[in-house]
Structure 1
Amino acid sequence: MPKSKNSPPLERLRHTLVLLTLVVLAGAVGYHLLSKLNYLDSFYMAITTLFTVGFRELGQVNNATKLFTILYLITGLGVATYALSNLTALIVEGDLQGYLRERRMEKRLQDLRDHVIVCGFGKMGFQAAWELKQAGVPFIIIEREANKGSKNPRFEGDIFLYGNAMDELILQRAGIRSARGLITTLTTDADNVLVTLTAKQLAPDVPIVARAAQLGMENKLKAAGADHIVSPYEIGGRRMAALLMNPNLMDMFDIVLNQDQLELGLERIQIHPSSWMAGKVLRDARMRDTTGCLIVGIRREGQGLHFNPQGSDSFEAGDEVLVMGPTAALKSFESQARGESEPPR
C-alpha cells in the first residue's frame, strides 16, 4: 500500500515502485498462463500493455486474455500514474532536495562536538551567534519559528534546528551532551528557566548563559542551574553610565573585545598538574617573553582573583590564569598550561 504524503519522499517512491514491480510481475504471470507465452514474451506483453505502447499482441488472444488485459490496465495504470506523480513531486516540488538537505543536516548534527547551542534567534540570539561565528566557534541555532534566519546571508550554511528549545528531544538532537555550552535568549524569563532546567537534566556539567528580561529574575535562573545571567537592561544602563564616568576605560575594553580592530583575546586558562608551569615562579616562567601573552590575573581556589600578579608570585596546579594576547600566543600559553608542550628553551 503506498505511503501517505507525510512519509519521506524517497520512502513513498520506493514503496510505489515496489507496488509497480508487483503489478508487472502479476501481468507477466497472467500472460504466461493465459496466452501460453514464455517468460520473456510474458514480460514484454506486461510492460508494453502497461505503458500503452502496444506494438502487437503475442500468443493466444481469447476472452480470458481480453478480460485480464482490461483489469490489468485499470490496476496498472493507476499504480503507474501514482508513481509518476511521486517522481514529479520529487523533482519539481523540491521534495527530494528538501529530504537530502535534511539528511545532510542530520549528519552534521551527529558530527557536532565541542559546540555552542544558541536558543532563540531574536536580536540577542543573532548577535551571540554572530560573535561565535566571527571567533570560529562551532554553533547550532534552535529557533521555534520555521525558516527564520535560514536565508540570512550572514549565516548561510550554518545549522538551524527548528523546534521548541524546551523539548528534551530537540536539545538531544542539538547535541547537548557533547556541547561546550548553551546560550538561551528566549523572549520570556519563564522559557529561559525551562530551557535551563531541561538542559541541566540532560547534561548537568554544561555551562549555561541565560538572558534575564526582568530585573530580579537572576536568583530564579541561578536556582534553575544557569551559570551566568545576562540582563540586557542592567548591562546597558551600566555601560551608558560608565561611558560618561570613565570613557577611556570603556574604549580599552572595546578594543580588547572587538576583534575587527585588533587581533587580541582574553582567555581564562587553567594550569594542569602535569604542566611544567605548576610550581614555577612567574619571573622564571617568562611567559610574556616566550609566548607574548600578558598575565592579567590569577584565580586560586579559596582566594579569589589576584589582579596584576608580581614576578615573585607563582603558578600552582589548578590555578585559573586570566591571559590577554593574540590568538596564536593564547594557544601557545594554553598548550603549555595543559602540559601538552615542553617549556621553551
Structure 2
Amino acid sequence: MSRDTPEPALGRIQLPETTRSPWWELGKRLLLALAILAGTVLLVYVDRRGYTDANDPTGKVGFIDSIYYTTVTLSTTGYGDIAPTSEGARLINAFVITPLRIAFLVLLIGTTLEVLASQGREMFRVSRWRKKYMDEHIVVVGYGTKGRSAVETLVNNGKPREGVMIVDPSPSAVADAAGDGIAIVTGDATRRQVLRRAGVERASQVIITTDTDATNVLAALTVRQLNPDAYIVAAVREEENVPLMKQSGADSVITSADAVGRLLGLSTLSPTLGSVMEDLMTYGDGLEVAERELLVNEVGKQPQQLPDQVISVVRDEKVYRYFDPVVTQLARGDRLVVVRPARELPWAPRPGTHNETTSTETED
C-alpha cells in the first residue's frame, strides 16, 4: 500500500498485504471494457458501408446502428438484422471484432469472479487470523516512533508478528504496519467498537503510545472497561500525568519526556554512564535487561552467586532489589531480572536459554 492510498474505513482490520482495493480493480476493468466498446463502435461506423441493415429500406448503417450492432455483437446476442456484407467488413469481424468480443466477455466475467473471490479470500483470511491469533495477543495503540520501537522489541524477543495488533487511525501507520508485516485496525482507540475489532477483550497486554496524554488516558479507561485483566503499559509525556494514567487503569506508566531528559542528563554528567544506559536499551548487541525464571539448580542460592548479574527478584508479584533481605535466599517460583550479554558468548553463558528445568516446572 502506498502513502497515496486513500484513508481506509475506520474500524476495519487490515492484514499486512500490499494489494489494491478490489473496487479499484473493478473500476479499472470497467473503464477498459468501455474503451473496447467505444473502439468497436468507431471501427464499425468507419466501415459502415460494408454493413447492411435489414430493417432499413436503404440498408444503410448510421452511428446509432453502429452502437446497436456493437453492443449485441460484443454481448454475443446477435439478432442478425445488421450484418457485414463486404469482404473487408467480414475480415474485420473475423480478426478484430471477434477477439474484442472474447476480451470483453472475459473482462466482465473475470472481473466479477475476481472481486467476489478477492472479498471471499479476505474475509476468510481475517476469520482464520482471528481464530488463530486474537487470543492472549498484544494490542499496541499508536504506531508512531514509540509504538514501532515497542513492537520491534517484542518481535526481537520472540513474540510472533501475528500475535501483535496495531490500533491507529493514521494512513501512514497503515502503510508502516503493512511494510512491517503487522495487522492493524484503523480507528480511534478511545472508541469501544474499534478496540473490540482489535480483540482487546481477549488481549493479554495492551501498550498505549499515542502522542497526547489525554488520548492515552481515555484509551486506558476504555481498555480497562473492556478487559479488566489485561496488563496495560502506557506512555505519558509529562510526569504530572502519571497518577492520572494509573487511576485510569494503567499497570505501568513510562514517562517519555522525563526518561529522555534523565538519559540526556546522565550522558552530560558521565558520557560513559550514558553509553551504558543506551546499550541496555538497544536490542541485539552489548548488554540487555531481561526477565527469566529461576532454574532448579539455582534454588537456595543468593542472587549474587548466579552467573547472571541479578538486579531484582520477582516473588509473589512483588519486585525486590537483589540486596533486599527478603530475597537473600532464592526460592521456587521466583523470577529474576538480570543484566546479561545480548548474545551468548563462550565466556558468558546465558542460563535459562537452553531448555533447562525451571523451578516452577517441578513445584508439583
Could you report, residue by residue, the CA deviation over 1:174-203 in whole angstroms, capped at 9, with x for unpaired residues? 232443311111232222112111211222
Q: Which amino acid in 2 is paired with 1:268?
A: E
- Structure 2 residue runs without a partner (length 5+): 1-8, 10-20, 27-74, 81-103, 344-349
Distance in 2, Cα, partners of 1:298 & 1:182: 24
- Mapping of residues 295-306 of structure 1, within 5 Å: 295-300=310-315, 305-306=320-321
| Aligned with 2:265 (options 241, 257, 264) | 241
Cα distance change of structure 1 residues 329 and 300 upon mapping to structure 2, 3 Å threshold: closer
For the Cα contact (< 8 Å) 1:324–1:330, is it kept in 2?
no
For the Cα contact (< 8 Å) 1:121–1:142, is it kept in 2?
yes
Q: Which amino acid in 1 is paired with 2:329?
A: S
Could you report, residue by residue, the CA deviation over 1:244-273 in whole angstroms, capped at 9, with x for unpaired residues? 2233233223333322323x54233466xx
Q: Which residue of 2 aligns with 1:134?
A: 156
Could you report, residue by residue, the CA deviation over 1:53-77 in whole angstroms, capped at 9, with x for unpaired residues? 569xxxxxxxxxxxxxxxxxxxxxx
**3-state SS of paired residue (2:253):** strand
The percent of aligned pairs where both chains have the same amino acid is 22
- Mapping of residues 52-63 of structure 1, within 5 Å: 52=77
TM-score normalised by the chain length of structure 1: 0.60
Could you report, residue by residue, the CA deviation over 1:213-242 in whole angstroms, capped at 9, with x for unpaired residues? 334111111101111112221111111111
Distance in 2, Cα, partners of 1:221 & 1:334: 39
Cα distance change of structure 1 residues 336 and 287 upon mapping to structure 2, 3 Å threshold: farther
Query: Which deviates further from its counterpart, 121-130 or 318-327?
Result: 318-327
| Aligned with 1:221 (options 245, 254, 273) | 245
Cα distance change of structure 1 residues 300 and 199 upon mapping to structure 2, 3 Å threshold: same
Distance in 2, Cα, partners of 1:89 & 1:165: 36
For the Cα contact (< 8 Å) 1:109–1:173, is it kept in 2?
no
**3-state SS of paired residue (1:149):** helix
Distance in 2, Cα, partners of 1:242 & 1:286: 26
Distance in 2, Cα, partners of 1:102 & 1:265: 41
Q: Which residue of 2 aligns with 1:104?
A: 125
Q: Which amino acid in 2 is paired with 1:131?
A: T
Higher relative contact order (CA 8 A, sep 6+): 2
For the Cα contact (< 8 Å) 1:287–1:333, is it kept in 2?
no
**3-state SS of paired residue (1:126):** helix
Q: Which residue of 1 aligns with 2:338?
A: 323
Cα distance, 1:335 vs structure 2? 5.0
TM-score normalised by the chain length of structure 2: 0.58
Cα distance, 1:212 vs structure 2? 1.4
| Aligned with 1:169 (options 176, 181, 193) | 193
- Mapping of residues 7-26 of structure 1, within 5 Å: none
- Mapping of residues 136-285 of structure 1, within 5 Å: 136-138=158-160, 139-146=164-171, 148-152=172-176, 155-262=179-286, 264-269=287-292, 276=296, 280-282=299-301
Q: Which residue of 1 aligns with 2:361?
A: 339
Distance in 1, Cα, partners of 2:356 & 2:235: 30
Distance in 1, Cα, partners of 2:356 & 2:288: 13
Taking only aligned residues, the RMSD between alpha carbons, in angstroms, comes to: 4.3
Could you report, residue by residue, the CA deviation over 1:8-38 in whole angstroms, capped at 9, with x for unpaired residues? 989xx9xxxxxxxxxxxxxxxxxxxxxxxxx
Q: Which amino acid in 2 is paired with 1:253?
A: M
Cα distance change of structure 1 residues 232 and 156 upon mapping to structure 2, 3 Å threshold: closer
Cα distance change of structure 1 residues 172 and 330 upon mapping to structure 2, 3 Å threshold: farther
For the Cα contact (< 8 Å) 2:206–2:232, is it kept in 1?
yes
Q: Which amino acid in 2 is paired with 1:104?
A: R
Query: Which deviates further from its counterpart, 214-223 or 241-250?
Result: 241-250
Cα distance change of structure 1 residues 302 and 121 upon mapping to structure 2, 3 Å threshold: closer
Distance in 2, Cα, partners of 1:207 & 1:232: 19
